[in-house]
A and B are shown apart, each in its own frame.
Chain A
Amino acid sequence: MKTLSLPALVLAGVLVIPALPSAPTWAAAGSPSSAEQLLSQRSGGGGSGNRGSGNRGGGRGSGGGSNRRSAGGNLTGGGGGGGQARRSNKNTGFRTASPGMGRGSREPRGGWTGNSRGRGTPSLDRTGSADRNRNAERNRNAERNRNADRARRDERNRGSDRNRNRDNDRARQERLDRRDDRWDRAGNRRDDRWDRAGNRRDDRWDRAADRRDDRWRRASRDWDRWYRYPGWARPGWGPARPWSWGWYGGWSTPRWNWWGPSAAAWGVSTLATAAIINAAVDNAVSSHTTYIVVPNTNYQLLYGSIRPVGTQSTTFSVIANNDEVEITADCDRGTLDGRNPRTRDEAELLNAACQVAFGTA
């Protein structure tokens, strides 16, 4: 096969050499075009946001964007030797520097919604809830600081009282006579303290290392899950849910036929309100946490796993006793996997899942 030289390609119009910028060297070295192409190639190959190996349904069209990007990458790479640097897998430091917006042509998990009317006014202004969260956090910090200051002051006062009492109770002569004994005892105590402190230090290190490992494992697990989370599980999640919603709510006295007798037996009169559950999701989204703790229970509801089944049921995953379980709830009939909740905790779980799926938010 005949190989054309570079000038020949240019003359033949196969290659188009862009005009060289007159900008200083930084522009040439880090031009947005090369960075974007490199980044899109990496995204396309790696399937940013498509690590959905654990995508449990609802993942229609998840490969579309990836395929399109791969095609783009091939075209770029096919240009000849110049593509070598672009194909590098090394971290350039600009991996997240791609434009934050995109075409929006890839169907998100859960699909497209057809109606967003009545879901607020278009606005780029910050919503009030974000400010409220920040203020709440500031208040919590201030309270913690105040408590810590109080504790430190109390401790200092206690110390000075002890010193005064000791001085009053002991005569100077007695102190001299007993000094040697005290030195001996002090030495012994010091040794003991050192030993104990060493042991405690070792224990603390061990415990800290264990906690660090646990946190890391948890973080890794949660991070991995976050990649599988649908686009609607974000700030503005209520209106972003891509399915019909809004009929569920106000279940302080649900019309589920089992509710009355069960509630009496459990000694409760109400379930967690929509406001509490919505706030929990808001906080989880803000703090990048993949679950909410269902109010009054130890259940961790993986809210991003919620998917509607028809117009009144939902499937979701929940962590109970360190195990992840997938459950289907019928929000209208008030059942979990087809049966009535047996405990108050299960009732709270049902209520929370249905609120996130179909409640007003």
Chain B
Amino acid sequence: MALMVLCAGVAIPFCAQPSAAQGTTLYRLETTCTIRGGAPQDCVVEVTDEGDSTVYRHTIGSRVEVIRVSDPPLRMGILDAPSGRWRQVKSAGARFSTNTICYDDRDLCVINPNHLNSVREERVDSLEGRDLVGVRFGADGRVILTCYDEGCEGLK
């Protein structure tokens, strides 16, 4: 509710209505996802580059989860289907050795080596020798914490 009030009064990118603009399709990946730590399910990820952001559309059976990532600065939003608005992702984590990315703790996890391969090549310095990386976002959607490996223990 607070977020909705905030969205009503201030122009924040992730509060805006989803853009109708069609981006460039980067790839379509048939892979495996989990929802809230449940059983692995087949899912399809369609990824589009929309200029200032990358949109990941996960289709898991009849359910669709859309994540939007932009940088810099790094921001992540998830599409709230009922309202059609973007809400901020609170945290995200990636484990390179399992090719997995999770959003909002483990609400949505997906095997996406493409995303991780790309990130790995973009951030050679900071990811050198790292296996687990996590980010947490503040109320304004900006990164307030980045952790690596053992530094992420205990963080949700």
A240 touches B93 (CB 8 A): no
Cβ of B117 and Cβ of A231 under 8 Å apart? Answer: yes
Interface pair B102/A103, CB less than 8 Å apart = no
B97 touches A122 (CB 8 A): no
Give the contacting residue for B99; candidates A105, A120, A125; CB below 8 A.
A120
- Chain B interface size band reads 35 or more
B54 on interface, CB distance cutoff 8 Å = yes
CB neighbours (8 Å) of A121 from chain B are 32, 34, 40, 98, 111
A226 vs B121: C-alpha distance in the bound complex, in angstroms? 10
Pair A101/B133 contact, Cβ less than 8 Å: yes
Option from B33, B110, B122 in Cβ contact (under 8 Å) with A106: B122
Q: Which of A238-275 contact B (CB under 8 A)?
A: 239-240, 242
A107 interfacial by beta-carbon distance below 8 Å? yes
Are A109 and B49 touching (Cβ within 8 A)? Answer: no
Smallest CB gap from B73: residue in A: A36
Known contacts: A32-B144, A65-B122, A124-B102. The answer to whether A116 contacts B130 by CB under 8 A is no
Known: A49-B124, A69-B72. A122 touches B33 (CB 8 A): yes
Residue of B nearest to A233 (CB): B120
| A234 contacts the other chain (CB 8 A) | yes
Q: Which A residues touch B49, using CB under 8 A?
A: 105
How far apart are B36's CB and chain A's nearest CB, in angstroms? 12
Complex: A98 Cα to B99 Cα, angstroms: 21
Residues of B within 8 A of A99 (CB): 71, 73-74, 135, 143, 146
Q: List, in ascending order, chain A residues with CB within 8 A of B93's CB.
A: 124
A242-B114 contact given A32-B144, A234-B120, CB 8 Å threshold:
yes
Which one of B102, B113, B124, B127 contacts A240 once the chains associate, using CB atoms below 8 Å? B113
Selected interface stretch from A126-134, A200-208, A295-303: A126-134
- Pick from A48, A108, A127: contact of B114, CB under 8 Å: A108
Contact status of A122 and B132, CB under 8 A, knowing A102-B119, A103-B69: no
Once the chains are docked, how many angstroms separate the CA of A320 from the CA of B97? 30
Q: Which chain A residues numbered 5 to 52 have a C-beta less than 8 Å away from chain B?
A: 32-33, 36-37, 39-40, 43, 48-49
A-contact bits for B94-127, CB 8 A (1 contact / 0 none): 1111111010001001111111111111111111
**Could you tell me if A104 and B29 are in contact, using CB atoms closer than 8 angstroms?**
no
Closest to A128 in B: B97
Roughly how many angstroms separate A348 CA and B115 CA in the complex, as a whole number?
Answer: 33
CA distance A275 to B49 in the complex (A): 39
Complex alpha-carbon distance, A301 and B93, angstroms: 32
Q: List 17 A-B contacts (CB under 8 A).
A: A98-B126, A102-B123, A103-B70, A113-B27, A113-B113, A114-B29, A116-B32, A116-B112, A122-B102, A123-B95, A123-B98, A231-B121, A234-B96, A234-B120, A235-B96, A239-B113, A288-B129
Known: A107-B118, A240-B99, A242-B113. 12 other contacts (CB 8 A): A43-B122, A96-B126, A98-B72, A104-B69, A107-B26, A115-B30, A119-B31, A121-B34, A121-B40, A121-B111, A122-B102, A124-B93
Interface residues of B, Cβ cutoff 8 Å to A: 26-34, 40, 42, 47, 49, 53-54, 69-74, 92-100, 102, 106, 109-135, 142-144, 146, 148
Q: What are the 3 A-B residue pairs with the smallest beta carbon separation, nearest first?
A: A231-B117, A100-B133, A235-B97
